[in-house]
Each structure stands twice: as structure tokens, then as C-alpha cells.
Amino acid sequence: MTRLRDLPLLSRRAGAIGVVALVACIIGGIVDPPAFFAAWLVNWLFLLGIALAAMMDVMIHELTGGRWGRVLRPPLEAAMTTMPLVALLAIPLAFGLPDLFAWARPEAVAASELLRAKQWFLNAPGFIVRNIVWLVAWTAFAWALRRRLAGNSDDDVRARARISVAGLLVYLFTVTVAAYDWIASLVPEWSSTAIGLRLGVAQFIAAFGFAVPFAVLDARARRLAPAITPRDCGDFGNLLLTFVLMWAYIGFIQYLIVWGEDIPHETSWYWPRITTSWHWLGLAVMILNFALPVVAMLFRAIKRNPQTLALVCGLALAGQWLDSVWLILPSLHHDGFAMHWLDVAALFAEGGLWLAFAGLRLTQEPVPEPTPHGVPAHG
């Protein structure tokens, strides 16, 4: 049996913080259930994004190769293997559907013709079943890929390629369903065909925001991976720039089309975010997720320096947490900016447990990088 003192220091410290914060969240949930469920959703969505996009990055690297992925594989694989924990962390949300969603409250459904019309899809049993299905599917992909990463035979390499192709295709569909369920349906009169794509790109920013600082600053993440070079940092910076530009483009085009149509049910999601004090949070998100990375990546000295690049990525990760807040809370608090101490407590609770779980993987050896022909590269 593994003793507590034998666990990695990161796991012990993060786990201790997570347990203490979890106790505080339980107490807060008893006192104020709506605030607890809102906070839990914000932070669960944030951690889900890191784990999912990390798995997608690993799958993309399995199919394409390249040194960028080789350097980042330890933290990406660590984040990917937290999917079982992320799935478990979704369980409390099943008990808070009436506190989060109008369509889960019978009295609201009875009073709204729109909710009755959408009840065929927006209903508690269907919501729970389909979310269980995609959480199980994502967890199964993470487990299957991790199991194949433990070996490096020709069969393992080919299996990883098959898993990666299937996983990427499943992700493209399921992330849209998840985004509609957890974000769009908070405002049931609103719908968007771009919300899944917007969430998916944001998840890639979050995964890079986690992986790059870890690869640069944590010795265990670099233990057996190649040393980071200025050229690697340049590649990371270019990828980060690509993600933030895509995120900004999708978000702006969606806003422009919706606002230009000026149809009440289409603008209902944006209204509290633009016309109340929530717009200050939106500005902060734009600075951390777009303006700062774009300006920073214009300077070669910043982009190719590991420490400064890690700082920019870390700030982008903080911006992604704020973006999770911006996606969820204005739909629940229409009158203006309103955050609860549970929003931060849930971050430490879920984040601490998540980081403790990820820390276990960071102590394990990464697999050699496959060549394009499926033969492991050595040396």
C-alpha cells in the first residue's frame, strides 16, 4: 500500500488544500445551495476544459509528431489522466439542476410555453443520461490511450493512432452537446451553433496555459523529456497565438451576428454581459485571453524566453478561469457582477484534488515519440 509520505510533494500539498477547501464548500453548500452549485459548475467546466484539450493535444501529437508535443507530453498526459476524477466531480451537479436551470423546475416549465416546447430535450433524465454517456466516453478514451502509452510496440503505436482518430471525431461532436447543455441552456430561449466551437478553442488555451508553465517551471515535468529550447518556446508561442486568435474571432463573429440581428431571444444571453457591470469581467477576459498574448507574441524576446512565455501562458490560464465565470454566472445573476466566496473555495477544492491527481502522473516516465511510420524514435 502506498503511504502518504511516498506520494509526490505536489500531490500531498494540493490534496491537503483540496480537502480543506472541500469541507468549506460542503458547509457553504448546506447554507447556500444555489451559490454552491453555481461555483461548482464554473470550476468543473474550467478543469474539464484542461483535461479534455490536453487529451486532444496528445492525440494530435500521436498523429502528427513533432518536438513541441514531445516536450509538453508529461504535463499534457498528466492532465489527460484526470478525466476519471473530472467525471466524478460532475456528480454533485446532478443534484443541483433545479438551482441552475429553469427547465429543471416544474413550476417554471408550467409557466413557459417555450420550456414546454423544449422539454423533449431539456429535461432532467435526458440531461443526466447524455452527460453520463459523453463523460464515460471521454474517460474511456483517456484510459485506453494511457494504457497504450505504457507500451511502445508496433501494436501500441498503431492502437494509439486509431484511438486518437476516433477520440478527435467524438470530441468534435460531444463538446458541442456539452456546451449547449451546461452553458446555452442556462438561458433556454437562446441558442448558438458556435458555442461548442468557442468552448473547444477556449479549452485548448487552458490546456496550453497549464502545460507550458509546468514544463518550464516544474523539474519533474522536465525530468525525462527533452530540455526546452528557445525554438520550442517559439513553437509554443505560435500555437498559443493561433488559439487565442481563433477564440477571439469565433467570439466576435458570434456577437456581431447576434447583436446585428437585434432579436430579443437571440440577444438575451449577451444582454446581462454587456449592459451590466458584468462587462468589466468581459474586458478582463479579453485582456488576459487575447490582448496580452497577442501583444506578447509579437516580441521575439518574450516568445522565445521560457520564463516570460510561462508567465504569459499562466495569465492566459487565469483568463480562462475568468472566462468560465463569464460563461456561467451572468446567466444566473442578471442584474450585475455578483461573485460568492464559494467561487474561489470551489476552485481550491476541485483544483486541489485535480492537481493532486495530476501530480501522480507527473512522476511517471513519458513514452518515446513515435515516428510518422509508426516506429518509435530513439536517442
The answer to whether residue 347 scores a pLDDT higher than 80 is: yes
Q: How many CB atoms lie within 10 A of CB 250?
A: 18
The answer to whether residue 145 scores a pLDDT higher than 50 is: yes
Contact 208, 240 (CB under 8 A): yes
* pLDDT value, residue 5: 58
How much of the chain, in percent, has pLDDT values that exceed 70? 91
The answer to whether residue 205 scores a pLDDT higher than 80 is: yes
Chain mean pLDDT for the chain: 88
Phi, psi (deg, nearest 5) at residue 376: -60, 140
Cell 458555442 locates to 195
Distance (Å, whole) CA 39 – CA 269: 19
Q: At CB < 8 A and 24+ separation, what contacts does 172-180 make?
A: 172/200, 174/134, 174/137, 174/138, 175/52, 175/199, 175/200, 175/203, 177/130, 177/134, 178/48, 178/131, 178/134
Of the pLDDT bands very low, low, confident and very high (cuts 50, 70, 90), residue 47 is very high
The answer to whether residue 377 scores a pLDDT higher than 70 is: no
Distance (Å, whole) CA 288 – CA 314: 10
Tens digit of pLDDT for each residue in 244-286? 999 999 999 988 888 777 777 778 899 999 999 999 999 999 9
Q: Which amino acid is at 33?
A: P
End-to-end Cα separation, the chain, in angstroms:
35
* Half-sphere exposure at residue 55, Cβ-oriented, CA atoms within 13 angstroms: 34
Contacts of 353 (CB under 8 A, 6+ apart): 14, 15, 18, 19, 22, 85, 89
pTM for this prediction: 0.91
Hey, what's the cell of 147?
494504457
Of the pLDDT bands very low, low, confident and very high (cuts 50, 70, 90), residue 135 is very high
Distance (Å, whole) CA 314 – CA 320: 10
Q: Which amino acid is at 16?
A: A
Contacts of 189 (CB under 8 A, 6+ apart): 114, 265, 268
Helix (H, G, I), strand (E, B) or coil at 187: coil
Q: Which secondary structure element, helix H or strand E, spans residue 41, and what is its range? A: helix 33-64
* pLDDT value, residue 363: 60
Of the pLDDT bands very low, low, confident and very high (cuts 50, 70, 90), residue 193 is confident
